[in-house]
Amino acid sequence: MQDTLRIDATGARTTGAAIHVPGDKSITIRAVLLGAAANGETVIHYPLDALDTRSALDAVQALGAKVEDRDGAWIVHGGKLKSPSAPVDLGNSGTALRLLAGLLAGMDGMEAVLSGDESLRSRPMGRIVEPLRLMGADIEYLEHEGSAPLRVKGRRLQGISYEMPVASAQVKGALMLAALSADGETIITERIASRDHTECMLPLFGAPVHISENDGARSIRVHAAKLQAAEVNVPGDFSSAFLWVVLGALMHGNGIRISGVGQNETRMGALRAMQDAGADVAVHLTSYLGAEPVGNIRISPSRLRPLHIAPASIPLMIDELPLLALAASQAEGESVLEGLGELRHKESDRITETARVLAAFGVKADADGDTLLIGGPQMLSPTEDDCGDDHRIALLALACALLAGGESTLHKFSSADVSYPLVSDAVKAVIGYR
**pTM: predicted TM-score of the whole model, two decimal places:** 0.92
Please give the pLDDT value at position 290.
Answer: 86
- Average pLDDT taken over every residue of the chain: 95
Would you say 332 and 304 are in contact if contact means Cβ atoms under 8 Å apart?
yes
Please give the pLDDT value at position 366.
Answer: 93
Cis peptide before 47 (omega within 30 of 0): no
Strands 111-115 and 88-89: parallel
pLDDT digits (tens, 9 = 90+) for 343-354: 888 888 999 999
pLDDT digits (tens, 9 = 90+) for 191-208: 988 999 999 999 999 999
User: Positive or negative CA dihedral for 107, 131, 318, 414?
Assistant: negative
What lies within 8 Å, CB to CB, of 173 at 6+ separation is 30, 95, 98, 99, 102, 197, 198
Band the pLDDT of 430: cuts 50, 70, 90: confident
Would you say 8 and 434 are in contact if contact means Cβ atoms under 8 Å apart?
yes
Catalytic residue, chosen from 24, 196, 237, 319, is 319
User: Is 319 among the residues known to form the active site?
Assistant: yes
332, pLDDT greater than 70 = yes
Angle, in degrees to the nearest 10, between helices 25-37 and 94-105 = 20
CA 55, 313, 242 angle in degrees (round to 5)?
Answer: 55
> What integer is the mean pLDDT of 195-222?
94
Please give the pLDDT value at position 80.
Answer: 86
pLDDT digits (tens, 9 = 90+) for 52-91: 999 999 999 999 999 999 999 999 999 889 999 999 999 9
Cα 350 from Cα 337, distance rounded (Å): 13
34, pLDDT greater than 60 = yes
324, pLDDT greater than 70 = yes
Band the pLDDT of 434: cuts 50, 70, 90: low
